[in-house]
Amino acid sequence: QKEVEQNSGPLSVPEGAIASLNCTYSDRVSQSFFWYRQYSGKSPELIMSIYSNGDKEDGRFTAQLNKASQYVSLLIRDSQPSDSATYLCAVIGDDKIIFGKGTRLHILP
Amino acid sequence: DTEVTQTPKHLVMGMTNKKSLKCEQHMGHRAMYWYKQKAKKPPELMFVYSYEKLSINESVPSRFSPECPNSSLLNLHLHALQPEDSALYLCASSQQTSGMSSYEQYFGPGTRLTVT
């Protein structure tokens, strides 16, 4: 059974600080990795995709991938109250997207 | 434009009713998906259509019946549902179902279904 693991949180981070969200996956051959943001009562929104080892930056978001360690992370710089949401890590396995259970992030004003 | 639309936004139905959920995308995507999401849980895959053909059915009960009339539209027909089927039903689309970036899925706003 292919798995994607995330700490459920809540992760509380002061406004303006860096939020660090982590994810591990079990399928060593996975090649595609995604981060989705989901506000309460809303649908998931794709915020980052990463396919190669290293860092990928987009505005205040940085995704980091380490395939050897089977680890993917999301950094949010200058955290804002509007970043408070559940962040879902997703990995492709068996030609299907497999979601982690999500980490609830709470930005403290 | 990365918009996927879904109708209705909310649906309340009895256990003997028949209803349909609708999904539409105009991004030229060739893969479309139905997910079910319960509160505080991740989305749970139900069906995948690739090039208008059903490619994955995750052992979903027959009271849920998907249909893909064309490459832009996806329906989910509902019949004789149970109260435990109450959930947020999400539609998503992606370019295809193979190739790394093709897996990027874009979700619609969902239909909040309540079965009474």
CB spacing of A51 vs B101 below 8 angstroms: yes
Determine the Cα–Cα distance for residues A41 and A39; give it in Å rounded to an integer: 6
Task: Give the closest of B41, B88, B105 to A97, CB-based.
Answer: B105
Strand A19-25's sheet: what is its strand order? A4-5, A19-25, A71-76, A61-66, A54-58
The neighbouring-strand residues paired with B93 are: B32, B106
Q: Evaluate if residue B1 carries a pLDDT over 60.
A: no
Determine the Cα–Cα distance for residues A3 and A24; give it in Å rounded to an integer: 8
H or E segment to which residue A94 belongs: none
Average pLDDT on A46-59 reads 96
Determine the Cα–Cα distance for residues B12 and A59; give it in Å rounded to an integer: 40
Q: How many residues does chain A have?
A: 109
* Whole-number pLDDT of residue A87: 98
Q: Which two tokens stand for residue A71?
A: 């680890």
Rounded to the nearest integer, the mean pLDDT of chain B is 93
* Whole-number pLDDT of residue B100: 58
**Residue A96 near residue A34, CB atoms below 8 Å:** no
* Whole-number pLDDT of residue B78: 97
Task: Give the closest of B103, B104, B109 to A43, CB-based.
Answer: B109
* Whole-number pLDDT of residue B99: 62
* Whole-number pLDDT of residue B75: 98
Determine the Cα–Cα distance for residues B16 and B2; give it in Å rounded to an integer: 36
Q: Which two tokens stand for residue B59?
A: 């052992």
Structure confidence by residue, pLDDT tens digits, B83-93: 999 999 999 99
* Whole-number pLDDT of residue A30: 86
Could you give the percent of chain A with pLDDT greater than 70?
Answer: 100
CB spacing of A92 vs B103 below 8 angstroms: yes
The radius of gyration computed from the CA coordinates of chain B, to the nearest angstrom, equals 13
* Whole-number pLDDT of residue A12: 97
Q: How many residues does chain B have?
A: 116
Average pLDDT on B21-49 reads 95
Percent helix, strand, coil in chain A, to 5, is 5, 55, 40
Mutate to test the interface with A, among B54, B103, B104, B113 (most CBs of A within 10 A): B103
CB spacing of B104 vs A43 below 8 angstroms: no
* Whole-number pLDDT of residue A108: 96
**Residue matched to tokens 């989305």:** B43
Structure confidence by residue, pLDDT tens digits, A18-41: 999 999 999 888 889 999 999 999
Residues of chain B contacting A99 with CB distance shorter than 8 Å: 42-43
Q: Which residues contact B61 (CB under 8 A, 6 or more apart)?
A: none
Nearest one of B34, B29, B26 to B85, comparing CA atoms: B34
Q: Evaluate if residue B102 carries a pLDDT over 70.
A: no
Nearest one of A23, A33, A21 to A75, comparing CA atoms: A21
